[in-house]
């Protein structure tokens, strides 16, 4: 059962990862909310909330409803969270963080909390940076599936939040235009397609991200 739902969540990852953007398309959809928790002018944690689409939610209920009562009790939801926690580990839990152009490593979440609301699956989890991230310069935060199998998006800019942001910082939600992103990276994408198809994170080019800029200019 765990293998079946993990396969459904991640899809044919090897196939999707090597497909060109025009050939790949998502099969699972989720509405996301991301809160950047800050304190003492440092990023302390990323707090995620994902609400999955009806089809994926119904599949999860079917797979994990051991007592066949058409709902998930606390023990069954705990199992859902554990399977998703294990399944997403290989992909960094679909999150990315950069500070002044440098990728920032994040600790895995201790657990993923799963719940059902109106028969839709919602998961919540929190991750922390492996090393302190100072609110200085330019920081980028986003969520994306490198296999293109799962579309996780922020339907409203208000779903990207910075808690306790210092006065000398500003934030902006960036939603890349796919045509512009492809045009700007055409050379590298072409080289990657012919030379090393599996080595390029195509989906990161199109991912909605939150940019925080801090410094004297604010």
Dist. CA 30–CA 98, nearest whole Å? 23
pTM surpassing 0.85?
no
pLDDT at residue 23 is higher than 70: no
DSSP 189: H
Q: Is the dihedral of CA 116, 71, 90, 106 positive or negative?
A: positive
- Cβ neighbours of 131 (radius 10 Å): 8
- Cβ neighbours of 77 (radius 10 Å): 19
What is the full DSSP assignment across 52-108? Answer: E-HHHHHHHHHHH-TT-SSS--HHHHHHHHHHHHHHHGGGGGGEEEEETTEE--BPP
Q: Confirm if 33 and 19 have CB atoms less than 8 A apart.
A: no
pLDDT at residue 4 is higher than 60: no
Contacts of 3 (CB under 8 A, 6+ apart): none
**Predicted confidence (pLDDT) per residue in 180-207, tens digit:** 545 555 555 455 544 444 444 556 677 8
Percent of the chain with pLDDT over 90: 59
Residue 196 confidence (pLDDT): 44
**Predicted confidence (pLDDT) per residue in 34-82, tens digit:** 999 999 999 999 999 999 999 999 989 988 999 989 889 999 999 999 9
């Amino acid at each position: 059962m765990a293998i079946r739902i993990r396969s459904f969540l991640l899809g044919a990852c090897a196939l999707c990862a090597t497909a060109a953007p025009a050939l790949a398309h998502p099969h699972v959809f989720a509405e996301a909310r991301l809160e950047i928790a800050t304190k003492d002018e440092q990023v302390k944690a990323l707090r995620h909330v994902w609400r999955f689409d009806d089809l994926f939610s119904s599949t999860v209920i079917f797979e994990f409803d051991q007592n066949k009562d058409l709902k998930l009790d606390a023990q069954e939801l705990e199992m859902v969270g554990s399977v998703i926690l294990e399944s997403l580990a290989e992909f960094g839990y679909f999150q990315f963080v950069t500070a002044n152009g440098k990728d920032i490593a994040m600790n895995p979440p201790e657990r993923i909390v799963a719940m059902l609301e109106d028969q839709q699956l919602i998961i919540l989890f929190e991750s922390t940076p492996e090393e302190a991230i100072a609110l200085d310069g330019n920081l980028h935060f986003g969520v994306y599936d490198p296999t293109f199998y799962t579309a996780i998006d922020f339907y409203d800019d208000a779903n990207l939040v910075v808690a306790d942001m210092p006065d000398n910082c500003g934030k902006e939600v960036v939603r890349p235009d796919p045509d512009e992103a492809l045009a700007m990276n055409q050379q590298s994408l072409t080289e990657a397609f012919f030379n090393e198809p599996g080595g390029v994170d195509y989906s990161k080019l199109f991912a909605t991200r939150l940019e925080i800029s801090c410094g004297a200019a604010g």
